[in-house]
């Protein structure tokens, strides 16, 4: 009887181990299937994000329909962050030239500063000491938009040289002006913030929140017309 009990116990343990082995195999197969579905879901999300970005780029293209453009992808950040310059995958073979304006996300990104046969370097408007002649879209009052390394972490850029008697409100749009030497007129730069009278009592200065999200640039449009 004792031997029989031991035999039954061993047989039960063997059966249990067999069942565990089957369950582990099934679990492994299920986990593999879950991994495949997760990868597929991530790819679908990426495709969805890219589609949304391309839709926004198309809307931007329509917004500036008067200008001919070439689409390009950002392929390399050439400095420590996006706020100085970056490389795109189009160059002279695609008809791009130095000083062509670059736009994305509804506004001005910067200007091409260097070209190769299959790449270009884009200098952004937020780069330190970068200068763009701007104007208020509602009143055409001119100003100077300047990149400042001290503001890079805040995501803002400086604006100055508003006349003392000009009314400037938070949220007012600033676009490139007609007197800019390299930038085409009417491209949205950003939105005014905290403009105050300077110590000389003759001008006003403040900040601009750029229209472009420089931390998430993946595709851009290059306007193929140069400022005359």
Query: What does the pLDDT profile of the chain (228 residues) look like in tens digits?
Result: 767 767 667 677 777 777 787 778 788 888 887 878 777 777 766 666 666 777 777 787 888 888 899 999 999 886 555 468 899 999 999 999 999 999 998 899 999 999 999 999 999 999 888 899 999 999 999 999 999 888 877 889 999 999 999 999 999 999 999 998 899 999 999 999 999 999 999 999 999 999 998 888 889 999 999 988
pLDDT at 155: 82
Backbone φ and ψ for 173, nearest 5 degrees, come out as -85, 140
Closest CA to 112 of 95, 96, 127: 96
pLDDT at 38: 78
Task: Give the number of other Cβ atoms within 10 Å of residue 189's Cβ.
Answer: 28
pLDDT at 146: 93
Q: d(Cα 110, Cα 124) in Å, to the nearest integer? A: 4
> pTM of the full predicted structure?
0.75
Q: What angle do CA 185, 190, 191 make, to 5 degrees?
A: 125
Q: d(Cα 184, Cα 177) in Å, to the nearest integer? A: 8
pLDDT at 79: 58
What is the helix (H) or strand (E) element at residue 54, kind and residue range?
helix 2-63
pLDDT at 35: 77
pLDDT at 214: 87
pLDDT at 89: 95
pLDDT at 8: 67
Q: d(Cα 101, Cα 224) in Å, to the nearest integer? A: 8
């Amino acid at each position: 009887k004792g031997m029989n009990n031991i035999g039954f116990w061993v047989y039960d343990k063997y059966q249990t181990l067999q069942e565990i082995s089957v369950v582990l195999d099934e679990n492994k197969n299920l986990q593999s299937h879950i991994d495949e579905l997760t990868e597929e879901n991530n790819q679908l999300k990426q495709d969805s994000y890219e589609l949304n970005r391309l839709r926004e780029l198309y809307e931007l293209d329509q917004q500036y329909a008067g200008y001919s453009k070439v689409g390009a992808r950002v392929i390399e950040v050439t400095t420590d962050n996006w706020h100085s310059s970056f490389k795109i995958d189009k160059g002279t073979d695609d008809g791009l030239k130095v000083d062509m304006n670059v736009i994305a996300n509804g506004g001005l990104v910067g200007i091409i500063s260097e070209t190769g046969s299959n790449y270009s370097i884009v200098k952004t408007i937020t780069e330190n000491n970068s200068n763009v002649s701007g104007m208020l879209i509602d009143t055409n009052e001119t100003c100077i938009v300047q990149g400042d390394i001290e503001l890079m972490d805040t995501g803002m850029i400086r604006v100055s040289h508003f006349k003392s008697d000009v009314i400037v409100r938070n949220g007012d749009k600033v676009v490139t002006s007609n007197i800019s030497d390299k930038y085409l007129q009417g491209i949205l730069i950003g939105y005014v913030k905290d403009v105050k009278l300077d110590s000389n009592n003759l001008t006003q200065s403040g900040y601009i929140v750029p229209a472009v999200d420089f931390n998430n640039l993946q595709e851009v449009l290059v306007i193929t017309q140069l400022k005359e």
